Structure 1
């Protein structure tokens, strides 16, 4: 429940942050009459995400067992790519997203007879991106963790994100977004590592991946997945009681590479070498 909750909380806050920036700028610049247009874009994006999720789920239900395992593996790896891109995109864009959105709004308002459609498109693509990212992650998680716990966590995360987003827009709370995105980013990369290992296991069950199948360890007697702690670790970090060499190797390699890149300090702009011509004399 914790993993779906935190990831949907982060996705929801990202969408709410973008929507809030657009709404605040419209209000500050005397364009409040366009605020209802934003909700049209949000609702269209939500509808697209729900439709995409339902279509993928129905399509998977028609597959035979081996094909279902392969489909789960593909969805899992897509979810891993989506989660990693989300984490690194926000790390890179956090500093400039406000200014870029303000510039895009000004450009949209200058469009002849197209301001409404331009604003709908901005909101639709911003929220739709987060929604489609969520669809792939939730499909992967629901396939790995059947039952009502994961959907309940995801729904709770969305509800909390909506409440926090509204409070941020109204100015009722102050949230250290840099710290929030940093710590949730680390957690998401750990979750993505577990999804990658689980997807590799699905490839094996589909008959596609059949190497590195020796067991690294076997804790089925000490800490089985069926125990309370094992269930929690499995739901949050995709813990396996007897992982293979391939699964454990992918998990460790994934974390080493992504966490090293994510935690690497960014070079300040004034330290970056300027591009200039050389003088000859």
Structure 2
């Protein structure tokens, strides 16, 4: 189950995006060719199949532009889309609607693309017990909504930020003035009992050392499926496993079938397509 983000998180993103688009003079095209008093009704329409995400952002975008706009959502985030699905209807001042159009659609097309990609990959590994997660490879400023889109598509979130958990990677070990074991020991002493400790390994030899010391989770980085299977067996009953490193929709199934507990894909947020959604005037 996923939960909608509160308006207090969404409003700053919307205001910044609208300000960027309106510039110094506002929507000069609409001002030039459409009466300032003209009222209109338009509809947000899906042009391809997918999973909807971002309806609250779209609504708030239009309402921020003009609080008198009437926005009626016909479906909710997480709903399946097919071509010509009417997602929402918007009524009000034509200038305001057109001025907010691109910002609202940018949010909808981007987040629906992430939700759709997540749903497709999750469906491809549904026969396994592996759980799909995203990463911190997000667009600056949009992490909250991008990770919300992953949840909407049926995935899970990895760390929201650097303060969620300790994840020791190769550079941490290289700069910690010690070896992998002493680095883990420092991390565990710092974390206490409330912060989980995860360690990245890229060989079975490293993994053996880490398991002897004991951690909550091991990140199995850039391992081929045959090596991943061996790593999963080594970790049974000792630590949870997470595969990461260049996993794509084409390779996800093979990775999941190794038995890893989690599979982290930066692809979900940095390479997901935009879903084709438009604002149409239906006579």
Q: TM tier, shorter chain? A: under 0.3
TM-score by length of 2: 0.25
Q: RCO higher in 1 or 2 (8 Å CA, sep ≥ 6)?
A: 1
Greater helix fraction, Structure 1 or Structure 2: 1
Q: Which has the larger radius of gyration?
A: 2
TM-score by length of 1: 0.25
Greater strand fraction, Structure 1 or Structure 2: 2
